[in-house]
Amino acid sequence: MVELPESLRAALEDELSSLAPKRVAALTAALSQRYRSAASNLATSTGSSFVPSPGDVAAYAAYRIPATFAAVAAVLKEVRERLPGWEPRSLLDAGAGPGTVAWAAAAVWPGLAKATLVERESGMIALGRRLAARAASDLVRDATWLQVDLTGSWPDVSPHDLVVLSYVLGEIQPGRAEALVNQLWEMTGGALILVEPGTQSGHARIRQAREWLAGAVIGATVVGATVIAPCPHGGPCPMGADDWCHFAQRVARSRLHRQAKGGELSYEDEKFSYVAVSRPGLPAAPVRARVLRHPQVRSGHIRLELCSATGGLTSEIVTRKDRERFKEARDLRWGSGIQWSEAGW
């Protein structure tokens, strides 16, 4: 279960304190409906804003910040595992919204010293600045905000060690996405991470971007990125046409969040798809397989649905008789990576 940093939770609470809970709930329902209908209309983004009014920005703060924070925090932790010893110093967050990624990254890599947050909407930037003023982290408080349209011309931005595009691709006009992904890769000194909602269309965008990144060729030279997560291999994605690779992160719902969503549950599960790639040469610790579903635990065996390092989808059944592997399999969760070193996997 992921909780927001206390300073972010308190700043959000203050931010929304002037709005009646019923109003926040109505704004949230409208925004959520817009995201849902966009998600079911793959490849139809017109590139226009999802959060045009101050009320939409408030609803975004109440209902999306906790969820995208949780998903991004999970992804960043996985990347830290796959790149042991890598200490990024700079972060570029493209389509930063209210700066959620910087809050999560500051906790995962305390050595991050510089954040550049690129965002088109002034309402989002203003919210991000108000929240950041309350942050304990220097990275978040001192971040540089650039008001830029990602699909237009950028000011001169030097490469950053870590570059993130989180929950943005679906808002980019499809014809502009490849150029944006390639441009972000050029700005990446170490690792580039793309995150999307864990829907079929979100995964389709991630899969497409992964192909652009892993297969990049300039002249006769393959300059493609190294895929480090979640995939245990850099070959074509083996997922069938009617399935999609996604994971889930449980998010604690604050009182405010519960009011905004009009529900009583104390948590929700945020589903997300992602890909992380790194510059070849950065020492990576690949996994031997990734767990793609909740493991099915039975009395005598555990059944695992995996994507394997050889590039295929496999089912593995680990029986209780295989004591070491069974013990390790009991600790695996949906989304876990299985290390090469573990119990003869």
Ligand X SMILES: C[S@@+](CC[C@H](N)C(=O)[O-])C[C@H]1O[C@@H](n2cnc3c(N)ncnc32)[C@H](O)[C@@H]1O
Residue nearest ligand X (C-beta atom): 97
Stretch of 77-85, 115-123, 270-278, 331-339 lying at the interface with ligand X (CB under 6 A): 115-123
- Is 196 one of the binding residues for ligand X (CB under 6 A)? no
Contact by Cβ (8 Å): 259, 22: no
Stretch of 117-125, 154-162, 206-214, 331-339 lying at the interface with ligand X (CB under 6 A): 117-125
**From the list 5, 88, 97, 198, which residue makes contact with ligand X (rule: CB under 6 A)?**
97
Contact by Cβ (8 Å): 129, 121: no
- Is 121 one of the binding residues for ligand X (CB under 6 A)? yes
- Is 232 one of the binding residues for ligand X (CB under 6 A)? no
Q: How far is the CB of 56 from ligand X (least distance, A)?
A: 10
Distance CA(331)–CA(325), nearest Å, equals 10
- Is 124 one of the binding residues for ligand X (CB under 6 A)? yes
Contact by Cβ (8 Å): 212, 178: yes
Distance CA(173)–CA(43), nearest Å, equals 7
- Is 149 one of the binding residues for ligand X (CB under 6 A)? yes
Residue with tokens 């209780």: 320
- Is 119 one of the binding residues for ligand X (CB under 6 A)? yes
Distance CA(284)–CA(196), nearest Å, equals 23
**From the list 139, 150, 284, 309, which residue makes contact with ligand X (rule: CB under 6 A)?**
150
Distance CA(200)–CA(90), nearest Å, equals 32
Cα–Cα nearest to 235, from 224, 244, 246: 224
Tokens representing residue 294 in the block:
């909740």
The site map against ligand X for 52-91 (x = CB under 6 A) is ----------------x---x-------------------
Q: How far is the CB of 239 from ligand X (least distance, A)?
A: 23
